[in-house]
A and B are shown apart, each in its own frame.
Chain A
Amino acid sequence: MSRQYTKEQIIFNAKAATGTGLSILVEDFQHVLLTLSSASSANFTIKFQASNSDTAPTFSSAQSVTNRWDYIQVKDLQSGTAIGGDTGVAFAGTDDVRLFEVNSSGQKWLCATITARSAGAVTLTTKPFNNE
């Protein structure tokens, strides 16, 4: 059977403020890839979030027993380096395009939150897929 995938889906589209992005349902897919890109000398930190709750959590609210999500580790496709969820990815005024893969499968919901932004615009897309 051939691979299954979706088109790219957008979590952030030229976001120019701190905030939490769109929640993406990825339950039907084993692998989740992310493309993070920036413009206008972006300076920010982004952390990726996931949840296995049946109903989508509020990723912008604090984690709790009834709002179950956590920051998740990703791998950099350029170097294979693992980046801890609590650390996230920081841009410091130099625009870039970075590719990542979520380092665990079985997530139901995926999202991301931008913090510590002082400049620029952030675009984050995701591509979920199965290999067989």
Chain B
Amino acid sequence: MRTSKDEQYIYNAKDADSTGVAISCEDFRYILLTLSSADTANFTIKFQGSMSDDCPDFSAARTVLNRWEYIQVKDMQSGSAIDGDTGVSFAAADDVLRYETVFSGYNWVSATISSYVAGNITLSVKLYNNK
């Protein structure tokens, strides 16, 4: 039987460079992401994951004691893989895009907005298992 959680927000109409809310996903295999923008958004976003028992500080540099990494996702429209270090860029054309993390097993996921110029960004996550 499928189990799931309601959508959770990493960002809700965010309009600045920043790191979003860290979401606990240890109990779920599948991690879907919905990225949407308004007001002619122009920014780059990179998705982050961690297997640490305790939640890392995704806004701080990666270290031995703060273990996280940018993670690869797959575009659900095209199936294209997007590397974690590359992320997704919007260039003043608002859109709604959907992604799935390529790998499972993360304890925590988050995202960071960089190179923000305009607009606002909403990123939600849907966690589920199929059995």
* Contacts from A to B (Cβ < 8 Å): 1-3, 5, 7-8, 14, 31, 33, 35, 37-39, 75, 77-80, 95-99, 101, 121, 123, 125, 127, 129, 131-132
Given A1-B131, A8-B52, A39-B64, A97-B72 contact (CB < 8 Å): no
The stretch among B10-18, B25-33, B111-119 that forms the contact with chain A is B25-33
A132, B102: Cβ atoms closer than 8 Å? no
Given A2-B129, A132-B131, A99-B29 contact (CB < 8 Å): no
User: Chain B nearest CB: distance from A2 CB in Å?
Assistant: 5
Chain A residues, CB < 8 A from B51: 8, 33, 35, 99, 125, 127
Chain A residues, CB < 8 A from B70: 78
Given A99-B51, A127-B51, A14-B64 contact (CB < 8 Å): yes
A7: nearest chain-B partner, CB-CB: B53
B29, A38: Cβ atoms closer than 8 Å? no
* Contacts from B to A (Cβ < 8 Å): 3, 26-29, 49-53, 62-64, 66-72, 81, 83-85, 102-105, 107, 129-131
Residue among A97, A121, A125, A131 making CB contact with B104, cutoff 8 Å = A131
User: Chain B nearest CB: distance from A130 CB in Å?
Assistant: 9
B30: nearest chain-A partner, CB-CB: A131
B53, A3: Cβ atoms closer than 8 Å? no
B68: nearest chain-A partner, CB-CB: A97
Chain A residues, CB < 8 A from B130: 132
Give the one of A1, A3, A8, A132 with max B CB within 10 A.
A3
B103, A37: Cβ atoms closer than 8 Å? no
User: Chain A nearest CB: distance from B100 CB in Å?
Assistant: 13
Chain B residues, CB < 8 A from A132: 29, 129-131
Given A31-B105, A78-B70, A5-B26 contact (CB < 8 Å): yes
Residue among B85, B105, B129 making CB contact with A78, cutoff 8 Å = B85
User: Chain A nearest CB: distance from B22 CB in Å?
Assistant: 15
Chain B residues, CB < 8 A from A129: 105
Within the assembled complex, what's the spacing in Å between the Cα atoms of A98 and B70?
Answer: 9
User: Chain B nearest CB: distance from A5 CB in Å?
Assistant: 7
Within the assembled complex, what's the spacing in Å between the Cα atoms of A81 and B83?
Answer: 10
User: Chain B nearest CB: distance from A88 CB in Å?
Assistant: 18
A122: nearest chain-B partner, CB-CB: B64
Within the assembled complex, what's the spacing in Å between the Cα atoms of A68 and B43?
Answer: 51
Give the one of A31, A78, A129 with max B CB within 10 A.
A78
Chain A residues, CB < 8 A from B71: 77-78, 99
A37, B64: Cβ atoms closer than 8 Å? yes
